[in-house]
Amino acid sequence: MKPQPGLARAIIFACLALVMGGTVQEDAEAASRPLRLVALGDSLTAGYNLPQTAAFPTVLEKALRAKGHNVEIANAGVSGDTATGGLDRLDWSVPDGTDGVIVELGANDMLRGLDPAITRNAIQAIVSRLEARNIPVMLAGIYAPRNLGADYVQRFDSLYRDIADQHGLVLYPFFLEGVVGDRSLNLPDGLHPTAKGVEVIVERILPSVETFLDRVQQR
């Protein structure tokens, strides 16, 4: 039996409506899902001696949400971790489905006087492995104390800029900008920020993170 033209058109339109409806629904679901970020770092990320509500990832997530960004930030900070330690645990610290990673590593390398080449190679490997998984990266750098000598300072400080330039990454040059050296913003050890110090860090890094989010969303 030959189908009537009107019936055939109706069937075609019904099929198109189903397909397009599914696409619209999928797009709506994708738009409503929060961006899933991971903050991969050391004690500065973990929130050393602070409640989790005062840790960097939590405070940053709150600040971003206050500005209208639908994000979730997992705290993958481990106190005492070096860049090599971050590399060793990368695969389980950054699960599948992660939309972007903020890498804050290297402070413990510097405090231990490790060869900057070791730190450079580890962070380079972290970035490359995340790129291979199609996960965008933002780098948060650390400056070496000037008493370590001009050669060490130059080799250490430059590694973050070099890697960021090579891979086209958003870079926040100094994670502790505005906090280091201020006793009122640091714990008694002089190395880790207080809750107020974390708020200062978040306030200063926020524009760079928003730039990073724009890149993540444009993928």
Active site residues per annotation: 43, 189, 192
Tokens 């903050």 belong to 39
Of 211, 148, 210, 141, residue with least CA distance to 180: 141
Angle subtended at Cα 162 by Cα 159 and Cα 163, rounded to the nearest 5 degrees: 85
Conformation bin of residue 5: beta by default, left when phi > 0, alpha when psi is -120 to 50: alpha
Q: What are phi and psi of 214, to 5 degrees?
A: -60, -40
Structure-block tokens of residue 103: 């890498």
